[in-house]
Amino acid sequence: MAIEANLASQRSVGAKQMARLKARLVELSTRHRQILDKSLSGVFSDSDTKKLLSEAEQESDNLQSQIAAAESSEIVPKEVVKKGFAVLQDMAAFWQKVGLTTKQQLQRFLFPEGIPFGETGFGACKTAFRIQ
C-alpha cells in the first residue's frame, strides 16, 4: 500500500534525523570538554571560555529540545493505521456505534470552524488543513 510505504519512508527520515541530532549532541559534549581543557591550560581567557561554553550549552539545549519533540511525535504504529482504515471503510457503521462525544470530536477535527446551517442547509465553511 502507498500509505504503508509513505509511513516507512517517514520513519526512515525520522530515524536519520534523530541519529544526526544525537551525533551533533555527542560532538557538542566533546567540544565542551575541549573548551574546558584549553581554558585550564591557559589557551582561552575566562571571558572567552564563558562565551564558548554558553554557546555550546545553548546549542545543546536546543538539540535536546528537538530530540524530545521528535521522540514525542513518533509515527503512529501499524495497528493504529489499520484501525483507522477499518473505520474509514465503513464510516456509517462507525458513526452509528460511537457516542455523542466521539461524534463531536470527529466533527471538530474535520471542520474546525463548525458546520453552519444556511439557506441551502448544512455546510462546511472550511475543511480542516489536516485533511486537505
Provide the grid cell at 10. 517517514
Which of 72, 100, 117 is where one domain is finished?
Answer: 72
Question: What does the CA dihedral 81, 86, 91, 97 come to, rounded to 10 degrees?
Answer: -110
C-alpha angle 30-32-33 in degrees, rounded to nearest 5: 65
Per-residue confidence (pLDDT) for residue 123, from 0 to 100: 64
Do 97 and 40 share a structural domain?
Answer: no
**pLDDT for 43-84, tens place per residue?**
989 899 999 999 999 999 999 998 888 777 666 677 777 888
Do 58 and 83 share a structural domain?
Answer: no
CA 98 – CA 103 distance, rounded (Å)? 7
Mean pLDDT over each residue of the chain, to the nearest integer:
82
Per-residue confidence (pLDDT) for residue 27, from 0 to 100: 95
Per-residue confidence (pLDDT) for residue 124, from 0 to 100: 59
Query: Does 128 or 85 have the greater pLDDT score?
Result: 85
The structural domain count of the chain equals: 2
Provide the grid cell at 11. 520513519
Do 88 and 37 share a structural domain?
Answer: no
Predicted TM-score of the model (pTM): 0.51
Do 108 and 52 share a structural domain?
Answer: no
Do 54 and 89 share a structural domain?
Answer: no
